[in-house]
Each structure stands twice: as structure tokens, then as C-alpha cells.
Amino acid sequence: MSLIRFARKSPREQAQVVRMKVRRLLLNLGWRIPHVGNDRTTYVIGLFGSGRWYINELLLRYIGERAYYFKDDILFHPGPTSMIYSGHATIKYLSCFQHSPTVTSRILEAVRSGSADLIFVYRHPLDSLLTNWIWWRQYLRNNRTSTIASQVHKNTEELCEDLERNFSEFKAFAEGAPEFFAAMPDPRFLSFPEFVEETELFVQAATLTVRLEDFVTDSLKEFSKIVDVMSVGLDLRHLQVVPPRAKPYGYLAVKERVPRFGDFISSLDFLTKERIEKIGYPAID
């Protein structure tokens, strides 16, 4: 299928793809880290289930030659580079499949020094929670790392039925219970309160924060913020930025159909609810 998509591209687009792959190969082989003009190292960070890959796709599609230096990984450089790194990381808590606070602290130091920018992408934590529960169930049961929610549940009704049947499992996941992650080595994944706290810490520390829901409303406006931070010379006047496929605030429909999920939201501790408000979302019951 990838060869078919490549064949459908124009000769100019094909040449761009080839150049990008060659440069990435050279970088992986230890080629000198590039630094063009006044570029600063860009880090695109999101916790699990945040919409980070949507931002990655926009960067690869629209920012021209700077996209040659994109890497789906997080590496630290003491000085500015043209590299764009993307990945999962945490500031306070150790978490499975996310770079450790030790790595993040070095990135934040580079941001403070002016040699790097951190773009943090997030969405409503309750939407992330449902997405992450679906992903982790598939990973632990079938060792599938490429699962997206729409592949597991065709619609909200199917999701609600599954959640109702397996609510105790969902609650164990949300609480970071050791039994849910028994098959995994330490550290476990974040509990929901830890996830919300990490989100708040990144919102406070990032050069730029972008919410997935805002891209649904005006994708061009939100993407222009990223372009400005990266100082990419891009003419946005005629650009049509594709909005995300994810439906915003999907947790509300689940709350209406699954009373126990509504009870779970109501029982969240005061500090977690307050943090959700501080990162830009309405108060939750």
C-alpha cells in the first residue's frame, strides 16, 4: 500500500520523500546533527492518547525541508539544532513507555536556555483516559502497539457496552492498580490523577501548548502557532490544514450512557478536578 501511495505522488513529491528518507537514514547512522540558520531544537511532546501523531502528520506534510530533520524519538542536545523530536515523556512520575523525568529535565533546561522549544499537545484528560484504556487492553492481551480506538469499537455504543461489562477493569487501570499491569515490568503506566498532574506540569513549562479540540475548531489558526514558534518560513494564506479525526469531548456521550463512568468522574478528588479546570476545560461534576 505504501508503494501505491508513493506512485500516486507527483515527481516533485516523490523526490521530497526520497530526500527525507535519505537524510533520516544518515542521521540514524550518526551523521552530523544539522543546525541551519537560527533554528532551535523542537520537541513535540504529548502524554499517551493526546493527539501527538496528528501534530506529527501536520509537520511532515506542511513545513517543507525542516521536516527532513523529524525523528520519532527524543534525544537531548546541549545546543540548538534543526532537529524535530517527537515522543512521550513525563516531568514527575516514572511511566512505562514514556521518557523519564531525567530526560525531560534536560529538555526543560534547554528550553530555559533558549536553545530549544517544547510544544506540548494535549486533549481532555477523560478522552485520553478512555483511549488509553482501550490501547492498554489490546497491548496486554494481544501485544498490539498500533491499535487506535476506532479499530476496536465501531461507535460509541460499542464502547459503552464494553465499558459497562468491564468497568472494574477500567477502574483498576484508571487507578494505576498493580494487578492491571501485572504482566508488565516496572514502572507501570500513570494513574489518572498522575496523568492530569503531568499535563498541568507540562502546560506550565512548555514554550507552546496546543489542545487537540482547538484544531477541530480552527486547524489553520492552531497550526500557525506552531509555525510561529518554530520560525518556519511558511506561507499560510492558502494552506488548508486537515482537522483531526478524533471527536472532541467524546467522554460526555459515554458519561450519559454508562452511569458508573459518571460516578467515577464525580468521585474524582478535588485537586484532580481543579487541575482539569486549570488546563482549560470546564468544571466537571
In order, the DSSP letters of 30-82 are: TPPPP--TT--EEEEE--TTSSHHHHHHHHHHHSGGGGGGEESS----SS--S
Burial of residue 202 (CB within 10 Å: 0-12, 13-18, 19+) is buried
Rounded to whole angstroms, the Cα distance separating 258 from 7 reads 46
> Crossing angle, helix 167-174 and helix 259-266, to 10 degrees?
20
**What per-residue confidence (pLDDT) applies to 26?**
52
**What per-residue confidence (pLDDT) applies to 8?**
59
CA diameter of the chain: 57
SS3 assignment, position 100: coil
Rounded to whole angstroms, the Cα distance separating 238 from 241 reads 10
Answer yes or no: are the C-beta atoms of 35 and 46 closer than 8 Å: no
Q: Which residues pair with 121 in a beta bridge?
A: 210
**What per-residue confidence (pLDDT) applies to 233?**
85
For residue 68 the three cell numbers come to 527532513
CA distances from 5 to 1, 9, 95, 142, 240 (A): 6, 7, 36, 29, 20
Burial of residue 170 (CB within 10 Å: 0-12, 13-18, 19+) is buried
Q: Show the low-confidence residues of the chain (pLDDT under 70).
A: 1-31, 143-150
**What per-residue confidence (pLDDT) applies to 267?**
97
**What per-residue confidence (pLDDT) applies to 279?**
98
Whole-prediction pTM value?
Answer: 0.87
